[in-house]
Chain A
């Protein structure tokens, strides 16, 4: 299977690899997937206290090129967005942007799940109710 140029670009030059300090209450962490399924994504956001804007986003991913590219792209998109804007990121946007083939759609779903989980983790730290995803994947 040939990868799209964008997947290759994100794989070769991944954006925002790294780890944020998860003990900070402005940092939300999402860890999704499972080692035995061949994909694990960890996505973290750091939210600016005053503006409510995501000022930093980092990822680490164990998975195929499409999984790495999906999470790299997600961190790129998250930066500069408010939480509400971040929640609008849909897995199909990732599919479209990276031209993922049908067999790799689950990589984009995982990235969307990671975003929502990171946001919920942040909300929990802020004493807010978790959001319930209206989408049911898996």
Chain B
């Protein structure tokens, strides 16, 4: 077993060697511009791009003409939200989204607020899930778009996308989903789920960084977004810029592999994740954050009460994970996603996110169980909060000197 162990696959994933392999020629001999219509270099590139579009469309149940290439999910989210705001300004200016969305969605919405949009931010329950009724109640005559993420990056919880999509269809409101964490991990079908716009990216599914896509529905209804960059009018006028051919080829291959291997892989990963989670829940005062039933197969978010997340990560330095603790980011605020579950800040500070992946082995999971258990016990021995808890002192009764 090689150290360090990578369990941060919700942040990014290793490129699958099979993906890397098919990308190589497009950096070297086949370097043409897919928009060059007059010579074989361009034809070859265009052919590769067309094939990738088919591979991508097949994974999500779309038509290949509905795939718009972008630089990644952040750009896709921006293009979907800002592009709909501009394109459908005559129809209305009200958007509905959720407080636990990724910053790429939340900040795009905040940007639109400055431009006169009205945004409703729906709260989630203590399990991280949104209820379709909340969306139904929030829809107004001037609502143009509902944007709800498919699977949450921090918790792994899966929102009721199909029900929300169906509701939006009935109400004649466009539906966007940030499916960055879901595509390639669980079955996603844009038709069955009634999705009009969907963001996703290659590097979360064993493809390269810097390439993603926005699915834009062409029929029933025909959806258009206003381009956010001016240029050559590529991608049906919605996203200008010379296509990243090696990246697109990589995204295509990553989608094909996911389509073929996803079902078996989900079973393998959820078994490993459950093994990890159950073992760590044997520790006293440890809790899973988020709904455990509607959840991505590879994610576990666990709080170890009375232990601080960054301190804990230092104790498991051979294992790469993320924490909801403030200390891991430049800001001193703990994870807004965990806070939105109504979790005490203290529990948010005590959380670790484990993101398993295609290259995670059982040996690595076993090592992680031992390492985390040891570190939690060690840190609790030096935690004044743990001592107070053991003495039966209510921490809420103490007057803390907040700083």
Contacts and interface: CB of A to CB of B under 8 A. Distances in A.
Interface stretch (A45-53, A56-64, A85-93, A125-133): A56-64
B385 interface: yes
Chain A CB within 10 Å — which of B307, B311, B384 has the most?
Answer: B384
A40 B382 contact: no
A33 B311 contact: no
Contacts of B314: 3, 8, 11, 64-65
B402 interface: yes
Contacts of A138: 403
Interface string A3-47: 100001001001001010000000000011111111111100000
A62 B311 CA distance: 8
B387 A40 contact: no
Contacts of A123: none
B308 A64 contact: yes
Interface residues of A, number: 34
A100 B311 CA distance: 15
B400 A67 contact: no
A113 interface: yes
A135 interface: no
Nearest to B383: A62
Nearest to B307: A62
A42 to B, nearest CB: 4
A38 B308 contact: yes
For chain B, the bracket of interface size reads 20 to 34
A35 B382 contact: no
Chain B CB within 10 Å — which of A37, A61, A68 has the most?
Answer: A37
Contacts of A40: 383-385, 400
B327 A38 contact: yes
Given A3-B314, A35-B346, A38-B327, A19 B387 contact: yes
Contacts of B383: 40, 60-62
Interface of A: 3, 8, 11, 14, 17, 19, 31-42, 59-65, 67-68, 103, 106, 109-110, 113, 137-138
Given A37-B345, A38-B349, A61-B384, 9 more contacts: A19-B387, A34-B401, A34-B402, A35-B349, A36-B402, A37-B332, A37-B402, A62-B306, A113-B403
29 contacts: A3-B314, A17-B382, A33-B401, A33-B403, A35-B345, A35-B349, A35-B385, A36-B346, A36-B349, A37-B326, A37-B332, A38-B310, A38-B327, A39-B403, A40-B383, A40-B385, A41-B384, A60-B382, A60-B384, A61-B383, A62-B308, A62-B386, A63-B308, A63-B310, A65-B311, A68-B311, A68-B382, A103-B330, A106-B403
